[in-house]
Amino acid sequence: MFSAILVVMVLAQTPMGKPVSAEELRALDITVFPDGKGLPAGKGTAAQGATIYKAKCAECHNEKGEGRDQQYPRLVGGVGSLTTAKPMKTVGSYWPYATTVWDTIYRAMPYETPRTLKPDEVYAVTALLLHWNGVIGENDELNEKTLPKVKMPNRDGFVPDARPHQKLKKSK
């Protein structure tokens, strides 16, 4: 109680932190939500994405998104494998949201030079991966409006944490 009062007093007397302008925030805020909030304007197709992929992604993820050496994840295939002894988790078989594909490519890729792709390029590479996974057509355009509407094959594959699995019991 005393410490709570102390904190309130401290904060009231010493305002800390500095307001951030909308312009500063635009450069920093890259969050993309599943409903598309945060996506920048832009557009691209799988056909356009193929050239970018070849130049900037294939070195690690291989020619057709098949991955390399375990450490460079496979991006394509695996639909229907999740219930088998050897599940293959890829963008197509596992990822629940198309916005996460866009966000991952923009945020973290290419691995050595992240956030250097322009929004149009990210839409194009996203379109390519979704096309390779049979989710959209080769000439379907993805943009900030259409991307969040794409329903990924495993969209309904996630359920809340069900633990503890064990009934709570006292040990003998």
Partner 1 sequence: MLALGASFMAVSCSKNEPTAAKPQSGLTMRAYGERSPFEKTQRGARESTKSIGVGSSRTPLQDLYGTITPSSLHFERHHAGVPVIDPAAHRLVIHGLVEQAVSFTMEDLRRFPSVTRPHFIECSGNGGGELAGNAGADASRSHGLLSNSEWTGVKLSTVLEAAKVKADAKWVIAEGADACRMARSIPMAKAMEDSLLVYAQNGEALRPEQGYPLRLLLPGWEGNASIKWLHRLHVAAEAAMTNQETAHYTDLHPDGKATIFSFEMEASSVITRPSGGQKLAGAGFHEVSGLAWSGRGKVAKVEVSFDGGANWKEAVLDGPVLPKAAVRFRIPWQWDGQPTLIASRCIDETGYVQPTRDEILAARGPNSQYHYNGVKRWSVKADGSVTSV
Give me the count of residues in the chain. 172
Stretch that binds partner 1, among 46-54, 109-117, 122-130, 141-149 (CB under 8 A): 109-117
Query: Least CB distance from residue 43 to partner 1, whole Å?
Result: 22
* Nearest residue (CB) to partner 1, 1 versus 171: 171
**Residue of 29, 21, 10, 40 lying closest to 118 (CA atoms):** 40
CB count within 10 Å of CB 35 equals 11
The closest alpha carbon to 72, from 111, 105, 103, belongs to 111
Tell me the C-alpha distance between 130 and 124, whole Å: 10
Query: Site mask, partner 1, residues 116-155, x = CB under 8 A?
Result: ----------------------------------------
96 touches partner 1 (CB under 8 A): yes
Question: Residues with Cβ < 8 Å from 154, sequence gap 6 or more?
Answer: 82, 93, 94, 95, 96
172 binds partner 1 (CB under 8 A): yes
SS3 (DSSP) at 120: helix
- Rule CB under 8 A: is residue 26 a binding residue for partner 1? no
Question: Which positions lie near partner 1, rule CB under 8 A?
Answer: 3, 6-7, 10-11, 14, 16-20, 22, 25, 28-35, 60, 71-72, 82-83, 85, 87, 89, 91, 94-97, 99-100, 103-104, 107-108, 111-112, 114-115, 157-166, 168-172
